[in-house]
């Protein structure tokens, strides 16, 4: 079989129609459902309620990205590598979303939460033997998922591949993976991305693949010292940061710098001030990706952006979200915020009743009464 995936794609027409792509206009990630999943089946079923899905629809979200840990659906003792019981739970969730007119990106978010950490969810793919298993798994998974309407369900085979030692090593793996999926799911749109946590730079270094039915994805959490201030699962210096402002200037960051004791953190925040991050700089950085997409005539999306809620100044957090969302929409880039109701959220949960953070919802351009 001749691969539809490989080869150069410059100047080709995108195979993703305007109507299909429009369903990926405004999205939200649903963490803690099939990724960091509840321990019981009932817990999975009740992680989100119909009121949540109706709220997502009413706010104006057009799609959800559904992160999944490989271990949730993988059963290496099964002939097709799929855990039938867990797959049934996933099917229930997919149908509930579709019943609320929400399109879906199926996002294989981590190769194994048990054997990885929050800084590298793709690490197992650096083992060639595991790549064989992963490709076989995805071919079986796509065979199951192709029952869903390709106008509404999209496949994201790997979230944030890292490959820090050699980012280019991800590209042949991705090509092999997408080819295997395409063999069994000829009509579904696939999501491709660069290495180094789906960075802009690695995407800009990519040559688009020959398959026209692909959307290219990048994640945007910059400036990182602002969006991840106080986060304990990433760079150690960031964990000590508090009240880092946005926009940035040398004058604006000085109070925050004065409170820091970590020399590396101080240097990073001073540098952030010198970089003068504001709406224009956010737009310029996102515009680089838009220019790449225009050059190659491909569709692009950003399936993650957001700010860690606990330590960012509230109004500044809203301003950064607004500026980033506005830049995406200026360039016709679909987006998905990370995430719905946890530490980067747009919604606060009160029992089973979701309460919208109206300031953040307004920053996202959503329907707020």
Which residues are within 8 A (CB) of 137 and not within 5 positions of it... i.e. 6 or more apart? 70, 74, 81, 82
What percentage of residues in the chain have a pLDDT greater than 70? 96
pLDDT at 275 over 70: yes
Mean of pLDDT values over 49-61: 96
How high is the pLDDT of residue 353? 84
Computed over every residue of the chain, the mean pLDDT equals: 95
How high is the pLDDT of residue 6? 54
How high is the pLDDT of residue 2? 35
Structure confidence by residue, pLDDT tens digits, 280-326: 999 999 999 999 999 999 999 999 999 999 999 999 999 999 999 99
Q: Which domain CATH number covers 200?
A: 3.20.20.80
Mean of pLDDT values over 69-80: 96
Is residue 188 domain-resident?
A: yes
Mean of pLDDT values over 111-125: 82
Tell me the pLDDT band of 150, cut-offs 50, 70 and 90. Answer: very high
The count of domains in the chain is: 1
Is residue 263 domain-resident?
A: no
How high is the pLDDT of residue 114? 77
Is residue 355 domain-resident?
A: yes
pLDDT at 10 over 50: no
pLDDT at 3 over 50: no
Is residue 45 domain-resident?
A: yes
Structure confidence by residue, pLDDT tens digits, 186-242: 999 999 999 999 999 999 999 999 999 999 999 999 999 999 999 999 889 999 999
Domain that holds residue 180: 18-236+279-363
How high is the pLDDT of residue 369? 76
Mean of pLDDT values over 154-162: 98
- CB atoms closer than 10 angstroms to residue 140: 19
How high is the pLDDT of residue 116? 67
How high is the pLDDT of residue 4? 45
Is residue 218 domain-resident?
A: yes
Is residue 13 domain-resident?
A: no
Mean of pLDDT values over 19-43: 98
Is residue 252 domain-resident?
A: no
User: Is the pTM above the cut of 0.75?
Assistant: yes
Mean of pLDDT values over 87-109: 99
How high is the pLDDT of residue 8? 42
């Amino acid at each position: 079989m001749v691969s539809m995936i490989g080869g150069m794609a410059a100047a080709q027409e995108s195979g993703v129609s305007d109507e299909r792509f429009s369903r990926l206009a405004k999205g939200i990630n649903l963490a803690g459902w099939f990724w960091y999943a509840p321990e019981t089946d009932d817990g999975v079923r009740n992680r989100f309620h119909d009121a949540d899905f109706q709220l997502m629809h009413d706010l104006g979200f057009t799609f959800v990205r559904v992160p999944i840990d490989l271990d949730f659906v993988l059963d290496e003792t099964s002939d097709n590598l799929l855990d039938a019981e867990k797959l049934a739970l996933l099917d229930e969730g997919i149908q509930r979303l579709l019943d609320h007119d929400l399109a879906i990106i199926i996002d294989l978010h981590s190769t194994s939460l048990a054997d990885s950490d929050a800084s590298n969810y793709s690490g197992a793919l650096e083992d060639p033997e595991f790549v064989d298993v992963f490709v076989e798994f995805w071919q079986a998974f796509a065979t199951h998922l192709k029952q869903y309407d390709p106008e509404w369900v999209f496949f994201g085979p790997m979230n944030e591949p890292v490959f820090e030692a050699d980012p280019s090593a991800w590209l042949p793996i991705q090509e092999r993976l997408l080819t295997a999926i395409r063999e069994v799911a000829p009509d579904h749109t696939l999501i491709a991305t660069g290495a180094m946590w789906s960075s802009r730079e690695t995407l800009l270094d990519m040559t688009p693949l020959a398959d026209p039915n692909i959307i290219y994805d990048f994640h945007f959490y910059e400036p990182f010292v602002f969006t991840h201030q106080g986060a304990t699962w990433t760079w150690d210096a960031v964990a000590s940061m508090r009240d880092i402002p946005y926009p940035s200037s040398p004058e604006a960051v000085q109070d925050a710098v004065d409170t820091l004791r970590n020399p590396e953190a101080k240097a990073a925040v001073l540098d952030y001030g010198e970089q003068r991050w504001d709406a224009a700089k956010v737009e310029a950085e996102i515009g680089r990706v838009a220019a790449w997409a225009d050059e190659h005539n491909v569709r692009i999306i950003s399936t993650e952006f957001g700010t860690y809620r606990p330590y960012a100044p509230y109004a500044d957090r809203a301003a950064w979200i607004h500026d980033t969302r506005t830049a995406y929409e200026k360039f016709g880039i679909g987006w998905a915020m990370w995430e719905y109701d946890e530490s980067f959220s747009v919604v606060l949960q009160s029992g089973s009743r979701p309460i919208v953070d109206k300031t953040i919802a307004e920053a996202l351009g959503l329907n707020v009464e």
